[in-house]
């Protein structure tokens, strides 16, 4: 289990956002991503084409214009993800610029060195959710970058005078988050 700062507090207050690969419908928004084409999760047996897509998963097209990991999104979440990110872009403007400002990176290149497009989409949704007093749940497959997103959220909380709280069942993750 991984939680960070205001996201955990916001969830306790009843506001929930679902991040990459998250499931369910709630008061919040659904995030981005899902699984990589190489690690497509536990979809029911079905024909998979050369991109890893099938009736259960589609290629994810990030709102962020920076480098993508080439992930897939569950078919039943694709429209909600797209709508959540479009609504966010209407509210905050360019997603990359929004996250760059919020995390105080000096350039999009610096932001892109730290995060992939899917992670930037998740960070944008999480930061917006925290601004509005809600929480955020990250539910990606292995290898999509939940730890990087949590590190970004921790950075945001520190930059905004909050005390982040990070818990995990795997002690080696503490070092990964701090570095």
Tell me the pLDDT tens digit for each residue of 112-167: 999 999 999 999 999 999 999 998 898 888 889 998 999 999 999 999 999 999 88
166 dihedral zone (left: phi>0; alpha: psi -120 to 50; beta): beta
State the pLDDT at residue 170.
83
Strand partners, 59: 72
* Banded pLDDT at 177 (limits 50, 70, 90): confident
State the pLDDT at residue 52.
73
State the pLDDT at residue 166.
87
State the pLDDT at residue 111.
98
Q: Label the pairing between strands 71-74 and 57-59.
A: antiparallel
Count of beta carbons in the 10 Å neighbourhood of residue 101: 14
22-75 residue pLDDT tens: 333 333 333 444 444 444 444 445 565 666 778 899 999 999 999 999 999 999
């Amino acid at each position: 289990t991984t939680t960070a700062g205001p996201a955990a507090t916001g969830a306790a207050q009843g506001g929930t956002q679902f991040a990459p690969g998250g499931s369910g419908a709630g008061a919040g928004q659904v995030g981005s991503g899902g699984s990589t084409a190489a690690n497509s999760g536990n979809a029911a047996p079905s024909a998979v084409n050369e991109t890893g897509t099938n009736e259960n998963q589609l290629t994810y097209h990030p709102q962020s214009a920076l480098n993508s990991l080439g992930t897939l999104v569950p078919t039943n979440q694709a429209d909600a993800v797209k709508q959540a990110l479009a609504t966010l872009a209407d509210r905050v403007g360019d997603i990359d610029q929004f996250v760059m400002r919020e995390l105080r990176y000096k350039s999009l290149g610096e932001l892109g060195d730290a995060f992939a497009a899917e992670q930037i989409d998740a960070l944008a949704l999480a930061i917006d959710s925290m601004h509005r007093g809600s929480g955020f749940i990250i539910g990606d497959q292995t290898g999509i970058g939940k730890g990087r997103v949590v590190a970004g959220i921790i950075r945001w909380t520190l930059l905004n005078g909050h005390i982040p709280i990070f818990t995990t069942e795997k002690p080696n993750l503490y070092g990964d988050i701090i570095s």
